[in-house]
Amino acid sequence: MNPTPHIQGWCPGAWQPMASGDGLVVRVRPPLGWLTLHQALRLSRLAQVHGAGTLELSSRANVQLRGVPPERHAALLRSLAACGLLDADARSERLRNVVVDPLHRLGDGVQALALALHQALAQSPELDALPAKFGWSIDGGYSTWLHGVSADIRLLRAPGPGTTAWCVQPDGLRWALAANNQQDAVAAGLALARWFAQRCVRQKALGQRPGRMAACAKELESALHHPADENSTATSSTSLEWLTSLPAGVAWVPADGVVSAQASEPPLEGDALPCLVPGVGTLVAAPLGRVPAQAWAEMVCAARRSGVTGLRITPWRMVLLESGSDAVGGGRQGCDAAAGLPSSPHWITHPDDPRLRVSACTGAPGCPQAHAPTQALALTCAPHVPPGAHLHVSGCAKGCARQAPATVALRAEATERGPIWAVIRQGTASQVTDERMKEAILQDNPGLLFAKNSCSTATKPRAPRSTGSPLPPSGAKPS
């Protein structure tokens, strides 16, 4: 039996890197999810000088350097600070776990809200008790693509007076706080976060794990509807004092009644894909979210020649080449830049590229918990993954890099004769399965994975529906 994977319970940052099999993982949180072209070029250089020469895009819209020797960490921090990519301290960095909608338009209030939230978080010492992974998302309402991004509190731009109305939704709750302006939205979000931080303190004092916001949604909902029960057993860990500190104009509304700001313009749905975003720029993807630093630098130089003004880092392992908000023509320039990338194998610019249908965790040798390398196998299998399907390759049962179920998930397992792959259909890497395949079989015939899948689902013979008659249906042919 394979050992249970160790769960860290926190994400690396720049101040607090994570030790891995190939050195330190240093995660950079670009301010407001945005890099100037100069900052992007510096990151490429720093990855080559201090790291393993690769940049990774995380699902929290961060850029990650791997393979940093511990003795180089201090120098790396100084370089990050010099180009404006380092928070004042580890605390500020940890609290600023905010995913900003990369599809936002200039002047739509998204950036302004993000800035106000960052400042408020930095000035709120009472939030130190929040769990290390506590995070936020700010959604401009231009797509459904942020719905799958983990966030304890979501701020959704909503219709209302001007462009500044927001809904503030705690994860898992069927209710959201409606705020008419940015100031109230930040105040409401902070009130929720403070309540949760106080709850964490109480839970820890009782020797219990505080969990995440979604885990206490029932408790919060019960307290909202039955505030008189505040001292009852069911809500004993819930203080409702924060409710009285909410701004006067903020009110609870049913979350399913929240309409995004772009109701008049259908939001982009489905999976995030490389595309031209009119008036904003061009989305390009990195295979498995990883790019050699040199290819990253070449992309930035090509983008600069095409008039791109900056890079928005997305939580979808893509980069948005920002080309201005004044005209669709600005997006066209970005499209040309995408098409002309000098190292195109390292970037995905077409939505039908099969590499978009695979994901993989770090695997061996980068991760000490991995039972096998993962990334090469995922890319080998990619051309055999049919449109609409997804293959995830995981080095162990922890399932980093993809929490959602995949059409097929492969999980490496250690055996006495070397690693073997557990095949999980319509599930995650942590699930139980009886089906296992040797790597040699997968390498020789990667199409087998999905051929078997289609046999077991789409083409499985079904018994004819009973008519209640012992005779075959009239249209049935005799055997």
70 CA to centre of own chain:
27
> Which residue minimizes CB distance to ligand SF4?
395
Q: Give the span between the Cα atoms of 380 and 391, in whole angstroms.
A: 11
Please report how close the Cβ of residue 395 comes to ligand SF4 at its closest, in angstroms.
Answer: 3
Q: Give the span between the Cα atoms of 18 and 158, in whole angstroms.
A: 38
The sign one gets for the Cα dihedral 321, 322, 328, 333 is negative
Count the site residues for ligand SF4 by CB under 6 A.
Answer: 13
Q: In the beta sheet, which residues pair with residue 311? A: 35, 321
Q: Which stretch binds ligand SF4 (CB under 6 A): 50-58, 231-239, 375-383, 398-406?
A: 398-406
Among 46, 396, 422, 442, binds ligand SF4 (CB under 6 A): 396
Helix/strand/coil percent split, the chain, to 5: 35, 20, 45
Amino acid (one-letter) located at 406: A
59 near ligand SF4, rule: CB under 6 A: no
Round to the nearest angstrom and report the end-to-end CA distance of the chain.
Answer: 48
Of the pair 79, 375, the CB lying nearest ligand SF4 is at: 375
Of the pair 80, 412, the CB lying nearest ligand SF4 is at: 412
Q: Which stretch binds ligand SF4 (CB under 6 A): 61-69, 142-150, 293-301, 396-404?
A: 396-404
Of the pair 275, 393, the CB lying nearest ligand SF4 is at: 393
The sign one gets for the Cα dihedral 378, 380, 385, 387 is positive
Please report how close the Cβ of residue 8 comes to ligand SF4 at its closest, in angstroms.
Answer: 9
399 near ligand SF4, rule: CB under 6 A: yes
Cβ–Cβ < 8 Å for 404, 390: no
23 near ligand SF4, rule: CB under 6 A: no
Q: DSSP letter for 88, please.
A: S
Binding characters for ligand SF4, 334-373, by CB under 6 A (x = yes): ---------------------------xxx---x-xx---
Among 302, 318, 338, 400, binds ligand SF4 (CB under 6 A): 400
- How many other CB atoms are there within 10 angstroms of residue 227's CB atom? 12
Q: Give the span between the Cα atoms of 207 and 213, in whole angstroms.
A: 18
Of the pair 35, 364, the CB lying nearest ligand SF4 is at: 364
25 near ligand SF4, rule: CB under 6 A: no
Of the pair 6, 209, the CB lying nearest ligand SF4 is at: 6
Structure-token pair, residue 294: 């040199």
394 near ligand SF4, rule: CB under 6 A: yes
Of the pair 188, 367, the CB lying nearest ligand SF4 is at: 367
What is the SS3 assignment for 176?
Answer: strand
Half-sphere exposure of residue 235: CA atoms within 13 angstroms, side-chain side: 21
Of the pair 327, 404, the CB lying nearest ligand SF4 is at: 404
Q: Give the span between the Cα atoms of 393 and 400, in whole angstroms.
A: 10
Q: Give the span between the Cα atoms of 170 and 238, in whole angstroms.
A: 15
Binding characters for ligand SF4, 288-327, by CB under 6 A (x = yes): ----------------------------------------
Touching ligand SF4, residues 413-442 (CB under 6 A): none
Q: Give the span between the Cα atoms of 173 and 213, in whole angstroms.
A: 9
Q: Which residues bind ligand SF4 (CB under 6 A)?
A: 5, 361-363, 367, 369-370, 394-396, 398-400
